[in-house]
Amino acid sequence: MDDCIFCRIAAGKAAARLVFTDDDMVAFHDVNPQAPAHVLVIPRRHVASLSAARPGDRELLGALLLGCARVAAELGLDAGYRVVTNTGPAAGQSVAHLHFHVLGRRALGWPPG
């Protein structure tokens, strides 16, 4: 989808500061970080949100979570980190392409805002 910024990043048509890529996903630094470490993990294929995922996406979803753990390992987030996927407007989803936020290197409050 050419009008989707994350599809454009996945296709290499828009710039991003990459952490890693593989056949299924791209991990890159958030342009507006909410923590000293803030990386997004996205599927290459356009999936609008977690709610748009289907049973056939089971393997992809597992791979994406493992990708989040890989980000944490590569960034050395040994003290802990948080994985978040905002889903829908009330949760603050601003980009309609499934993404997991990996946040770390600061204390993260609970409950989240």
Residue 70: CB minimum distance to ligand AMP, A:
18
From the list 59, 62, 111, the residue with the least C-alpha distance to 82 is: 111
Residue type, 64: L
Residue among 55 and 110 whose Cβ is closer to ligand AMP: 110
Active-site residue, 46 included: no
Distance between CA 50 and CA 88 in Å, rounded? 9
For ligand AMP, which is the closer residue by CB, 78 or 94? 94
**CA neighbor of 65 nearest in space, from 83, 44, 38:** 83
Whichever of 49 and 63 has its CB closer to ligand AMP, that residue is: 49
Q: How far is the CB of 46 from ligand AMP (least distance, A)?
A: 14
The token duo for 69 is 């753990």
Task: Please give the residue ranges that form the binding site for ligand AMP (CB under 6 A).
Answer: 5, 16, 30-32, 40, 86, 92-95
Active-site position among 38, 97, 99, 101: 99
Structure-block tokens of residue 26: 């791209």
Q: Which residue numbers are catalytic?
A: 99
